[in-house]
């Protein structure tokens, strides 16, 4: 199948490589571009621990003026890939190896202090980690360190591929990226063809904008994991 991967980098490149290894023809076109906030203001005072939920958050700290101070803190990540990136930057992270609920449970089981934790986050978030931790008695200071900016339209070759019926399916990993995909398709004059393709979505929430736009060939992964998403994609 000829598939379009819309994930931001560097995740998009990893996904494209996995799909090619399965024999698919892949077009990589991120519909959201990640912008790091230069030297984000962490505020005054100290922190009891650090929370990182994406590789982007780790990258945002790489050149931070308070990096050495943060490296000595206990640190928690939601998944292994973020933990690997944090470890490469000199942190000693503990990974929840799961989702936000797993991360909250991990922190609540290990952390008790009046000093707030520092959550280095993106501008747009699907859940409220700070509120979830507050509910179990853990204070969090959230600092926005990166943002995702939608592309204005498709690249010319991608728009042409849709108009020619040359894209069999599209992979969607977030509700915001699905909406950005539709907006770019409309701006490129390829909305009808884009909606007509098969759409493989990480969750029902992700699929919402596509269904609202009239997409009928929508598959939703039974678990919010890439491996589960791949199970729906035919190998021919």
Query: Which top CATH class is 2-31+151-230?
Result: alpha beta
Classify residue 89 as exposed, middle or buried by CB count within 10 Å of its CB (0-12, 13-18, 19+): middle
One fold for both 2-31+151-230 and 35-148?
A: yes
Would the CA dihedral through 204, 210, 215, 218 be positive or negative? negative
CATH 3.40.50.2000, applies to 35-148? no
pTM equals 0.74
pLDDT band at 130 (very low <50, low <70, confident <90, very high): confident
Domain boundaries, the chain: 2-31+151-230, 35-148
pLDDT at 67: 94
pLDDT at 45: 83
Closest CA to 209 of 195, 228, 223: 195
**Close Cβ partners of 194 (under 8 Å, ≥ 6 residues apart):** 162, 167, 170, 181, 182, 185
Q: Report how far residue 64's alpha carbon sits from residue 90's, in angstroms, rounded to the nearest whole number.
A: 13
pLDDT digits (tens, 9 = 90+) for 73-87: 999 999 888 999 999
pLDDT digits (tens, 9 = 90+) for 166-188: 999 999 998 989 999 999 999 99
Main-chain phi, psi angles of 77, to 5 degrees: -130, 160
């Amino acid at each position: 199948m000829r598939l379009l991967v819309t994930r931001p980098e560097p995740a998009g490149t990893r996904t494209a490589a996995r799909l090619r290894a399965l024999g698919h023809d892949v077009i990589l076109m991120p519909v959201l571009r990640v912008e790091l906030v230069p030297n984000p203001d962490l505020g005054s005072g100290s922190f009891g621990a650090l929370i990182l939920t994406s590789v982007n958050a780790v990258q945002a700290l790489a050149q931070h003026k308070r990096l050495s101070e943060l490296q000595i803190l206990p640190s928690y990540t939601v998944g292994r890939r973020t933990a690997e990136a944090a470890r490469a930057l000199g942190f000693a992270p503990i990974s929840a190896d799961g989702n936000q609920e797993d991360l909250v449970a991990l922190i609540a089981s290990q952390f008790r202090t009046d000093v707030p934790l520092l959550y280095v986050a993106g501008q747009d978030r699907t859940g409220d980690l700070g509120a979830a931790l507050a509910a179990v008695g853990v204070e969090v200071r959230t600092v926005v360190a990166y943002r995702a900016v939608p592309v204005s339209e498709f690249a010319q070759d991608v728009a042409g591929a849709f108009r020619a019926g040359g894209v069999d399916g599209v992979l969607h990993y977030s509700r915001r990226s699905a909406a950005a995909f539709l907006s770019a398709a409309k701006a490129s004059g390829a909305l009808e063809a884009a909606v007509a393709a098969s759409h493989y979505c990480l969750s029902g929430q992700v699929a919402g904008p596509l269904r609202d736009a009239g997409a009928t060939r929508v598959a939703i992964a039974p678990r919010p994991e890439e491996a589960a998403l791949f199970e729906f994609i035919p190998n021919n």
